[in-house]
Structure 1
Amino acid sequence: MKAVSIEVVQHATLSPGLIEDLRCLFDAEYFADFGEWDPQQPYGYASHDVHLIARVGADVVGHVGWVRRSISVGATDVDIAGVGGMLIAANSRGRKLGERLMHAADQSMTETGGIQFGYLGCREEVVPFYRACGWQRITARERSVSRDGQAVEDPPGQPLLILPVSSCLASWPSGSVDLRGRAW
């Protein structure tokens, strides 16, 4: 396999060609269930400010994105990077590329500054992957705006994970989480 490169791209600077490459990556996986990928609101979720893109040669084979947001946890405001859009092309899986992307995302959050934690929600079956990347599961009620634009509140127990960036794990406040918008 050719060498893998990972680039960090600000959302505002995505070129039309790179948008098309990302659309091809996502649509290969999700088109049948969700339709065409939209970079401004991918499958109804919040868009990202920062995209980490993995390439093998010129081919885009992986992506993870994040967006800075202030959320509330209990009575405390917390500055997070909401992480989503983690995807590895089917022909590139099984090579630890996802872990490399997640570590690059952590590094980009740290370099950006002012981010206390990474934050994500996921399916139960991928929790072990994120745990292997250093993320910690939390238990909390979560409020957000659903993909169809409605307010939703999920009970404690769904997979929510955090990654200490500039704060220590013990400083994560207790209480319900309000994402103040759509999830990623």
Structure 2
Amino acid sequence: MTSVDIDTVPHDRLSTNDMARLRELFDAEYFAEFGAWDPDQPYGYAPHDVHVIARLGAAVVGHVGWARRTIGVGTAEVVVAGVGGVLISPHARGQRAGTLLLAHAALSMKDAGGIEYGYLGCREEVVAFYESCGWRRISAVEHSIDRAGHPVMQAPGPPLLTLPLDPKPRSWPAGPIDLRGRAW
């Protein structure tokens, strides 16, 4: 594989070309099931403040989006980078592009300052990949707003993962998680 270039772009600085290439990446994967990608409400999930983009020449071959939010965990408040929109183009899979992309995303979260943890939910099939990149699985009740705008409670079980961003992180607090909005 030719060298993949990684860019970190704030949402409000995405170029028209970036938007078009990201739309191609997401629509190639999800259009049949979810329709067209909307960067301001991707498939009904929370939008991203920052986009970490993998490029192979002019093509966008990968993406990780994240947004800073203070969530409730038990009686504590935790500042997280809620991660979503993790996608690698089929022709870039299996060549470590995802690992490189997640490493750059973690650096961008750390560089943003004041964020304690990366936070994401995912499918069971990709948990091992995230764990290989340093993410840790947690188990908790999760409260959020669903894609239709209604409150929802998810019982423990489906994968939730965190990534400590502080060199000396406090332990992830015990208790139910309130995302205080849509998942990413």
TM-score grouping bracket, smaller chain normalisation: over 0.9
CA distance in 2: counterparts of 1:120 and 1:167, whole angstroms: 20
Residue 33 of structure 1 corresponds to which residue in structure 2?
Answer: 33
Residue 73 of structure 2 corresponds to which residue in structure 1?
Answer: 73
CA distance in 1: counterparts of 2:160 and 2:169, whole angstroms: 14
Q: Percent identity?
A: 59
Cα deviation digits, residues 134-174 of structure 1 (max 9, x gap): 00000000000001111000001110000000264552110
Equivalences for 1:49-88 in 2 at 5 Å?
49-88=49-88
Q: Is the 8 A contact 2:11 2:49 kept in 1?
A: yes
TM-score norm. by structure 1 comes to 0.98
The count of aligned residue pairs is: 184
Unaligned runs of 5+ in 1: none
SS in structure 2 at match of 1:33: helix
Cα deviation digits, residues 38-97 of structure 1 (max 9, x gap): 000000000100100000111110000100000000010100000010001111111010
CA distance in 1: counterparts of 2:160 and 2:167, whole angstroms: 18
TM-score norm. by structure 2 comes to 0.98
Equivalences for 1:24-173 in 2 at 5 Å?
24-166=24-166, 168=168, 171-173=171-173
Q: Taking structure 1 as reference, are residues 101 and 178 closer, same or farther at Cα in structure 2, changes over 3 Å only?
A: same
Q: What is the RMSD of the two structures over their aligned residues, measured on CA atoms?
A: 1.0
Aligned-residue offset at 1:2: 2.1
CA distance in 1: counterparts of 2:18 and 2:107, whole angstroms: 22
Q: Runs of at least 4 residues of structure 1 off by over 2 A?
A: 167-170
Aligned-residue offset at 1:15: 1.2
Residue 183 of structure 2 corresponds to which residue in structure 1?
Answer: 183
CA distance in 2: counterparts of 1:148 and 1:70, whole angstroms: 22
Cα deviation digits, residues 97-134 of structure 1 (max 9, x gap): 00111110110111110000000000111100100000
CA distance in 1: counterparts of 2:109 and 2:136, whole angstroms: 17
Q: Taking structure 1 as reference, are residues 158 and 167 closer, same or farther at Cα in structure 2, changes over 3 Å only?
A: farther
CA distance in 2: counterparts of 1:71 and 1:92, whole angstroms: 34
Q: Is the 8 A contact 1:71 1:177 kept in 2?
A: yes
Q: Which amino acid aligns with 1:103?
A: A
CA distance in 2: counterparts of 1:28 and 1:58, whole angstroms: 16
Q: Is the 8 A contact 2:116 2:169 kept in 1?
A: no
